Amino acid sequence: MSDLRESLQVLRPRDWSEIPIDTLDTLLRDIFSHARNIVDSVPPPPGGMDFASSHRILTSVNSAASAADMVPSPARPPPPDENCMAMRKAWGKPIKLGLNTDYGASMYKMAGHDRHGAWFARTSVHEGMGFTKWKKAMEREHAESLKVKGGPGEGAVRGLGCDNRLESLVVDGVGRLEVIQLSAQFPGPVTPREFLTLLLIQDWEMNDPQPAARYYMTVSIPTEHPGAPPRDGLVRGYYESVEMIREIPLAPYKPNSKASKNNSEFAGMRRYEYAEDDDPETNPVQWIMITRSDPGGGIPRFMVERNTPASIVDGMGKFLNWACSLEEIPPEDEDLEAAPSPYLEKRESALDSRRSSYVDDGPSDFVTPQEKTAEELFPPRTGVINYLANAAQFAIDNYAPNLVHNGLTSLIAESQSVENESLSSSDSTSTSSFKSFNTQPSHVDKTPQNPFSPVSTDLNLSLKSRPDSLHSDNTTGTTGTIGTMASNRKIDKELAKLEAKRQALDKSMEKTRQRHETRAAEASKKSERDAERAKARLEKETRKREEKHAKELRRLEEKREREERRAEEKRRKAVEKDEVLRVERERDEVKRELGGLKDEVELLRELVKTLQRENTWLAKKVGDLGGTESLREWREKKGAMRTEATQGSEEKVEV
């Protein structure tokens, strides 16, 4: 843990005046060593398998046309040393991004414990873009925005645009140092920001010609430079980061002794000779970045840290879309006019002095002439150009320095077959030319020519300067002595150089034509792939829309059923409520009726009591007045009347 903190401290801001130019190599080696520890401390993405047992998912080189076509690879790099493995515990577990697209990246967060904010690390392994193209894209990224003139962040690939390059120093065998001025335009009313960065670059070719895997690393350290004071209208922020891409080789390799060391286009792959159907550009590439930033101003740190993971992933998509869309990535400074730094001027002056030492050596670098016969010097060939090539070959073999001898000999040997085909119709002319070349006067200057002296490109000038040698009527034979041929070495060398230039131009034209044909074929294949990809994308979108439509229909049907159930439940509850209300209403009515009946019964009871009292009083009065006998007679008379009525009804029934 303490080792990781110590390594992260090398990314703290440094003033340009504190950079030791005299011992720059020591400083860069120390920073790059700590940067490698920081990179190796980041855990790989979860899952995956060891590189020894992994296989490629994609077999075509640079097949991705956008970030969506990049494929996360299950391959994982070899584990680092035990110290770096122990430092991985400081990062903990990956944080959840909560984004729709994360491009297969894993994000980690670690507290800074230095009052300058938390560190964020992002790691991923991709297939779809080869290491060489990826490296060229990273080299070109700042130059792409540097050529665009405009406001803050104009022309930026990932949001930070390069406005100015203040320093550029190269330390042989270690790396490169640059001081660049960056700017960014934030959304909303936020003031644009500027960043002054000390950019350190290390390439596998600079540091280790034969590493276990190719890599490219950049280290960004905040700095202060006298040539870049704070600009009006911009708030200066600080940006610390380490970014690396490294290849995960999935196939064994062996040194390629036949590879040309002068071929810069394939310099990054010259040590590889892969098995059949195995291209190193199809190897997975691991992309790692460790960063933290302070935009300055009044933006709270918690807001910066909350939005950092999303901005990092968004930058991934922007870079991959830009890099994948480029068919060819130009060199880093091809279309820029960068002012050379004092260090570069010093190196150029050293190279110039080295070149002048080659010229001043004079005849000491020349090969001792060897005795050769005419048959060895000039095999039976026809054509004036072939003869001139023979003469140039003689001069190169006997008088040219080793450096020129090795270069021109192979060039002329490769061009002989083309010469025989293109100039086979000039046999008669070549015979007379051959004769005229062997009748040169013997007073020609025999001093060896400087191989680095300027060569005239005007053939007529050389011919007119020696009319007695090239237009002589003397035809003494087709063979001459070696001494006569040696006396004409100046003209022969000039003609050979002109022929070599012509052959070089022809080769360049042929390469250009082949490259154009290859591009046309690739464009045709790409259009077919794009059409197939578009068709597949359309079918996929159609399926998604159909599934979405069916899902929407199911959702609507379920909603309708829920509404129906809800309405039915509401009706049932309303009916139940009405029934309860009706019963309550009837109960209240019955209660009211019962209350009325009770009142009526009480009234009747009182009335009966009153009648009974009156009846008692009347009975007493009747008894007192002798009315008892009258009542008995009346009752008897009434009983007789009832008896007669009953007998009369019985007689009617019998009839």
Q: Each residue of 492-504: pLDDT tens digit? A: 777 887 888 888 8
State the pLDDT at residue 145. 87
Is 107 buried (19+), middle (13-18) or exposed (0-12) by CB count in 10 A? Answer: buried
State the pLDDT at residue 32. 94
Is 105 buried (19+), middle (13-18) or exposed (0-12) by CB count in 10 A? Answer: buried
User: Quick check: 73 and 44 in contact, CB under 8 A?
Assistant: no
Q: Sign of the CA dihedral 591, 592, 595, 601?
A: negative
- Distance CA(143)–CA(162), nearest Å, equals 7
State the pLDDT at residue 597. 92
- Distance CA(128)–CA(69), nearest Å, equals 7
pLDDT less than 70: residues of the chain: 1-2, 206-211, 251-278, 333-489, 626-627, 648-655
Tokens 């440094």 -> residue:
14
**136's tokens:** 């060229």
DSSP 268-295: GGTT--PPTT--GGGS-EEEEEEEEEE-
In three-state secondary structure terms, 135 is helix
- What separation, in Å, do the N-terminal and C-terminal C-alpha atoms of the chain show? 136
178 bridge partner residues: 168, 199
10 to 29, 42, 179, 403, 541: CA distances (angstroms): 12, 17, 16, 45, 49
Neighbours of 231 (CB within 10 A): 14
- DSSP code at position 96: P
- Distance CA(87)–CA(43), nearest Å, equals 9
612 to 90, 228, 598, 619, 634: CA distances (angstroms): 113, 130, 21, 10, 21
State the pLDDT at residue 179. 95
- The CATH superfamily label for domain 2-250+303-347 reads START domain (3.30.530.20)
Closest CA to 64 of 331, 332, 317, 278: 317
State the span(s) of the chain assigned CATH 3.30.530.20. 2-250+303-347
Task: Find all residues with CB under 8 Å of 211, minimum gap 6, and list them.
Answer: 204
Interhelix angle for 131-146 vs 301-325, to 10°? 110
State the pLDDT at residue 488. 63
H/E stretch holding 519: helix 489-625
Phi, psi angles (nearest 5°) of residue 441: -65, 155
State the pLDDT at residue 498. 83
- Distance CA(190)–CA(233), nearest Å, equals 11
